[in-house]
């Protein structure tokens, strides 16, 4: 297999994963209760995941997110750990990986109270919000 063929295969596999995630998000969002449960199951009471998500929402880089975690004394305050957290959020359907560039927030969750739920997690854990 040539490098070009291998790269093309990776892009196709990535696209199929993205389509599957999109379908699973759309299926989950058919019912508000299911969407709210997915939010709770994914973020639980993890301020680290909240900071990672909100950081990406605000266009922060992984090192910037790691610094924000460090500033708050939270676990996962390294670029590799932020990358792992992003992968977890992508797997759960809250982020997506475009063909080029960094992961981005998957739109549509806010109508199910995502931002409110994330703010509540930070408030309950006594963790300052991002700037």
Q: Determine the pLDDT at residue 34.
A: 85
Q: What percent of the chain has pLDDT over 90?
A: 67
What is the crossing angle of helices 47-57 and 32-43, to 10°?
A: 110
Query: What architecture is the 3-125 domain classified under in CATH?
Result: Orthogonal Bundle (1.10)
More confident residue, 80 or 111: 80
47: which 2 tokens? 């301020």
| pLDDT tens figures, 41-79 | 999 989 999 999 999 999 999 999 999 999 999 999 999
CA 71 to CA 52: how far, in whole Å? 13
What are the residues whose beta carbons fall under 8 Å from the beta carbon of 82, sequence distance 6 or more?
A: 52, 62, 65, 66, 69, 76
pLDDT at position 3 over 80: no
Q: What is the pLDDT of residues 120-131, one digit of tens each?
A: 999 999 999 997
């Amino acid at each position: 297999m040539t490098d070009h063929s291998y790269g093309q295969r990776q892009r196709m596999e990535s696209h199929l994963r993205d389509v599957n995630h999109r379908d699973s998000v759309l299926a989950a969002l058919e019912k508000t209760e299911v969407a709210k449960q997915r939010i709770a199951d994914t973020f639980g009471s993890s301020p680290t995941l909240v900071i990672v998500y909100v950081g990406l929402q605000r266009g922060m880089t992984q090192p910037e997110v790691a610094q924000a975690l460090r500033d708050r004394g939270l676990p996962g305050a390294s670029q590799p750990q932020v990358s792992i957290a992003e992968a977890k959020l992508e797997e759960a359907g809250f982020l997506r990986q475009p063909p080029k560039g960094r992961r981005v927030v998957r739109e549509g969750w806010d109508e199910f109270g995502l931002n409110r739920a994330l703010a509540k997690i930070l408030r309950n854990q006594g963790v300052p919000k991002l700037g």
